[in-house]
Amino acid sequence: MSTVDSLVDMPVEAGCIAEYVWIDGYNKVRGKARYLPNVPSSPADLPDWNYDGSSTGQAPGADSEVILKAQTIFPDPFRGKPNILVMCDTYSPEGAPLPTNTRYECALAMSAAASLEPWFGLEQEYFLINPETGKPIGFPAKGEPQPQGPYYCGVSGSKMYGRDIVDAHFKACVYAGIKISGINAEVAPGQWEFQVGPAVGIEQGDMLWMARYMLERIAEMKGLDVNYDPKPIKGDWNGSGCHANFSTKPMREAGGYEQHIIPALHKLENKHAEHIAAYGSGNEERLTGKHETASINEFKWGVADRGASCRVGSDTAEKGYGYFEDRRPAGNCDPYVVTRMLVQTCCLDE
Ligand code: ADP
Ligand code: MN
Ligand code: MN
Ligand code: MN
């Protein structure tokens, strides 16, 4: 007998449904779907598509058409195989990348640095928000919950909220082939983290954006919103960051710490202001020097120092090679911009 749920779960017998996903004019993801009679085997098999940019903050005036170009394909955990999610970027009808198409420049920088094999691991922190109260799940409608302490990597029914969403998202990412490396509960109630990495070059931005899209789809199923802002809850509550772990092939080889990581940290120090400007909006409310952050006004690096702008793990310092962590990016950063800046400053000397 047919029900709505059984129709939702019904397999697509021939061809496939492709959900085209893109970044809008507000640093958020959007998507729309089309049916394809043949299952594509690479992005080149997918037709360009378009949408109304006047509804997404991307095209003023009469000519509002935006062109979508398919860039990366992921198996779709929502509709199941052979259906696909497609990460796209955006162009004017004349073929110029839109100003919000940050993937375009990122891909150029990643090609220029390809021989160095840049690896990234981004740690996306976020809050699950109840739209009725506007507060994180686990926050009472009035007043505040028990102060920070028991929530980070915690367990128990009185403290942990949203674990089903987090775990559903974890498995959905594995299904989609996203290089998700883990999840953990964060310091505030209703706050969690997932990590994507190590991912190579442009793959990091594509995978983190698609992982955000999937998280918002799963939260939507439970009537919840996702908030990536660097300081959504004022007061004595941690904000959300997006620490960027970074290495190149020379950094990962013997002598890499002295010869490649430390010089990269000096280059980052010289470009501190430029990086801060590109690392997400509202980050000044998060980078206060409290809550495991360094002040936004200074660049500080250190071994095993969670109050530094950039941290080298003790493992890397001891072995003499490995990677470092840029702790400055805000939760709402654009991973295409963050990874491009790291490569331009540390590898391309731009
Ligand atoms: P933290 O200890 O800061 O919480 P996490 O374990 O949350 O760190 O995240 C570290 C991320 O760095 C993971 O996604 C991991 O895959 C990634 N990573 C590991 N090794 C490297 C490397 N050599 N280069 C870049 N990223 C790496
Ligand atoms: Mn982490
Ligand atoms: Mn964290
Ligand atoms: Mn970290």
Domain ranges of the chain: 3-100, 111-346
Q: Work out the number of other CB atoms within 10 angstroms of the CB of residue 66.
A: 26
Residue 19, CB half-sphere, CA atoms under 13 Å: how many? Answer: 21
The residues with which 243 forms a beta bridge, in sequence order, are: 123
> For residue 1, is pLDDT > 80?
no
User: How far is the C-alpha of 156 from the C-alpha of 230, rounded, in Å?
Assistant: 26
> For residue 60, is pLDDT > 80?
no
Whether the model clears a pTM of 0.85, i.e. scores above it, the answer is: yes
Average pLDDT over residues 7-30: 96
| Ligand 1 pocket residue status of 325, Cβ below 6 Å | yes
Q: Which secondary structure element, helix H or strand E, spans residue 217, and what is its range?
A: helix 203-221
Cβ-contact 69, 51 below 8 angstroms: no
Return the ∠ at Cα 174 (arms to 172 and 180), rounded to 5°: 105
CA of 174 to the centre of ligand 2 (A): 18
Confidence of residue 143 (pLDDT cuts 50, 70, 90): confident
User: How far is the C-alpha of 166 from the C-alpha of 214, rounded, in Å?
Assistant: 11
> For residue 64, is pLDDT > 90?
no
Contacts of 326 (CB under 8 A, 6+ apart): 243, 244, 245, 246, 268, 275, 309, 310, 338, 342
Residue 210 C-alpha from the chain's centroid = 8
The two tokens of residue 108 are 């150029």
| Ligand 1 pocket residue status of 316, Cβ below 6 Å | no
- The DSSP line for 42-99 is SGGGSPPEEEEGGGTTS--SS--EEEEEEEEEEE-TTT-TT-EEEEEEEE-TTSPBPT
> Dihedral of the CA atoms 32, 38, 44, 47 (nearest 10)?
-50
pLDDT at 336: 98
CA of 274 to the centre of ligand 2 (A): 24
| Ligand 1 pocket residue status of 243, Cβ below 6 Å | yes
CA of 62 to the centre of ligand 1 (A): 46
Confidence of residue 206 (pLDDT cuts 50, 70, 90): very high
| Ligand 1 pocket residue status of 119, Cβ below 6 Å | yes
User: How far is the C-alpha of 197 from the C-alpha of 179, rounded, in Å?
Assistant: 6
Taking CA atoms only, the protein residue closest to ligand 1 atom 20 is 198
User: How far is the C-alpha of 92 from the C-alpha of 64, rounded, in Å?
Assistant: 9
The residues with which 181 forms a beta bridge, in sequence order, are: none
Confidence of residue 127 (pLDDT cuts 50, 70, 90): very high
Mutate to test the pocket of ligand 1, among 120, 194, 195 (most ligand atoms within 8 A of CB): 195
24: exposed, middle or buried (Cβ count in 10 Å: 0-12, 13-18, 19+)? middle
Mutate to test the pocket of ligand 1, among 245, 293, 343 (most ligand atoms within 8 A of CB): 245
Cβ-contact 74, 83 below 8 angstroms: no
| Ligand 1 pocket residue status of 323, Cβ below 6 Å | yes
CA of 243 to the centre of ligand 4 (A): 5
Taking CA atoms only, the protein residue closest to ligand 1 atom 13 is 121
Taking CA atoms only, the protein residue closest to ligand 1 atom 17 is 121
> For residue 61, is pLDDT > 90?
no
User: How far is the C-alpha of 294 from the C-alpha of 232, rounded, in Å?
Assistant: 18
**Residue 252: DSSP 8-state:** G
Tokens 């190590």 -> residue: 198
Phi, psi of 325 (to 5 degrees): -120, 125
| Ligand 1 pocket residue status of 192, Cβ below 6 Å | no
Q: Going by DSSP bridges, is the β-strand pair 49-52/16-23 parallel, antiparallel, or unpaired?
A: unpaired
Q: Whose CA is closest to 125, among 188, 210, 218? A: 188
User: How far is the C-alpha of 10 from the C-alpha of 4, rounded, in Å?
Assistant: 10
Average pLDDT, rounded, for the chain: 96
pLDDT tens digits for 87-109?
999 999 999 999 999 999 999 99
User: How far is the C-alpha of 297 from the C-alpha of 269, rounded, in Å?
Assistant: 11
Q: CATH number of the domain at 111-346, out of 3.40.50.300, 3.30.70.20, 3.30.590.10, 3.40.1160.10? A: 3.30.590.10
> For residue 181, is pLDDT > 90?
yes
Cβ-contact 188, 241 below 8 angstroms: no
| Ligand 1 pocket residue status of 321, Cβ below 6 Å | no
Taking CA atoms only, the protein residue closest to ligand 1 atom 12 is 121
The two tokens of residue 151 are 């929530």
Its CATH architecture, for the domain 3-100, is Roll (3.10)
pLDDT tens digits for 275-322?
999 999 999 999 999 888 899 999 999 999 989 999 999 999 999 999
> For residue 129, is pLDDT > 70?
yes
CA of 69 to the centre of ligand 1 (A): 30
Contacts of 226 (CB under 8 A, 6+ apart): 126, 127, 128, 129, 212, 215, 216, 219
Atom of ligand 1 nearest to the CA of 313: 2
